[in-house]
Each structure stands twice: as structure tokens, then as C-alpha cells.
Structure 1
């Protein structure tokens, strides 16, 4: 009986340690999401994601920021955001999209990396001048940048 109790205590301790590790990591471990697909592109850095028959969920793409299209602060931002949105839609239409979950953003949306045919879409948009690198914190003023 004592051996059974000792095994249960060890298993409990290992489980608690694993949970504490995950909490400290802030959910940032990458998890491939092969059962998920891009259902809709909202803008250059936000998509609707459909996973294994569950309702669609809005997801934020990590590692870059694009100009706003929903509530832009100037006409230049709206136009640049539309270009980024169109380009992301083109990339997704090529097929071969792979979603990797890397955590959650401050609005509790899944935070993901999106690759198309093996290339990270954020890197593509940054290289093409449609996005800037972004890993949290204050976002750039797109109106100032584009003028």
C-alpha cells in the first residue's frame, strides 16, 4: 500500500511540475495545428481559423504587424492595410498553409505562425514592405511611417 501511495505522490508531483513549467512559459511553446486551416483573411495579420469541425476562431499572426483596415487613422494606412490583406489572401490561395499555435494574445485570441509552402508569411510581408517586425509592446504609427 505504501508503494502505491508513493507512486501516486511522484505522479502528482510530476504533473504539477509540468503545469508550472507551462504556466511559466506563458503558453509560448509551439504546437503544430494540422487539423486547422485558414477559413478567412480579415487583414494582413489576422485570420479566421477553422479547426476540426469546431466553430471558426479569430487568430493573430505572430512576429509582424500590418497597417489597420478596420479602424485606420488615415487614408494611407487604409490603403497600405488593404495591400497587405490582399497579399496575404494571395499567399493563402497558393495552398499548403501550415498553422503553428504559439500562445495567446492579450485579447485571448490564438497567436499563430502561418507558413505557406514552407515560407513564413510574416517574413514575406516584411520583405515586401507590407509589414514590420512586431513582438508585442507599442505598435508603430502607420500614418507617420507612410507619409
Structure 2
């Protein structure tokens, strides 16, 4: 894929794992939150099921699937992070859109049924 500006090319990468109780460097918290180089990133364009705590078993299962898929997507190659309207959310997480080859990884999660577009409000995942 050709880029109009070489500086927009995907240049970020890391070996991501699932976050545990130890230091958070490059790890996935859930389907829309991860740590990258010591910064907590909230994917700005999506919302995924809650895991801490899930409100029902269906939310837990879909949340675990979203977390595993985000881990696979982040580990699949280089990516870019871009800032939108706001730099941080009320929890101090950096709000970023994550893209690879110009495509939002959040859009991939939405297409696969593991996320929704973020509209500024949380919506339940339990039926």
C-alpha cells in the first residue's frame, strides 16, 4: 500500500501478552484497553464487553473473545496510533485509534461481532 506521507506508515510494534499483576509494559487488559510502552491506551473508536466485572456470562465470554482477538491483532504486525478529539479519558487512559495499513483494528473487532462503535455511552452486552 502506498502512503501519501512516509511518516504515516505503521512503525509501532511490540510483543504483547495478557496483563497480569506485574508491571504493565506491553499487554492487553481487555478488548478495548491495552498497555503499550508503559502507557495505558483505550481504543477510542470502539466499546467491548466488560471483564472487570462482567454483568453476565454472555458478556464474560464475548469479553474474553474480544481480549484474545485484540492480543492477536496487536501481535500480527506493525501498527499506528492516532489521537482524536480528546487525548485522555476521565480515567487517565490515552484515547487512540489503532490502525494497520490505514484500517482501524477496532473496525475489525466490530466486523467480527466482538465490539461496537463507541457512541459515548456504555450499552449492556447481556440479553
Q: TM-score, normalised by structure 1?
A: 0.65
- SS across alignment from 1:130: coil
Superposition deviation, residue 109 in structure 1: 1.4
Superposition deviation, residue 36 in structure 1: 6.1
Q: TM-score, normalised by structure 2?
A: 0.75
Q: Residue 125 of structure 2 corresponds to which residue in structure 1?
A: 142
More helix by share: 1
Whether 1:100 and 2:82 are equivalent positions in the alignment is yes
Pick from 119, 127, 146 the counterpart of residue 103 of structure 2: 119
Q: Residue 81 of structure 1 corresponds to which residue in structure 2?
A: 63
User: Runs of at least 4 residues of structure 1 off by over 4 A?
Assistant: 34-38
Deviations 1:92-129 (A, max 9, x none): 11111211133111212110111134321111011111
Superposed, 1:54-73 pairs within 5 Å as 56-73=38-55
Aligned length: 106
Bigger radius of gyration: 1
Aligned-CA RMSD value = 1.9
Superposition deviation, residue 35 in structure 1: 8.3
Q: Which has the higher contact order (CA 8 A, sep 6+)?
A: 2
**Structure 2: gaps (5+ residues):** 1-7, 15-25
C-alpha separation in 1, matches of 2:126 and 2:100: 29
Residues 1:58 and 1:114: Cα distance change in structure 2 (over 3 Å): same
Q: Residue 23 of structure 2 corresponds to which residue in structure 1?
A: none
Deviations 1:75-108 (A, max 9, x none): 1101000000111111111111211133111212
Superposition deviation, residue 49 in structure 1: 1.8
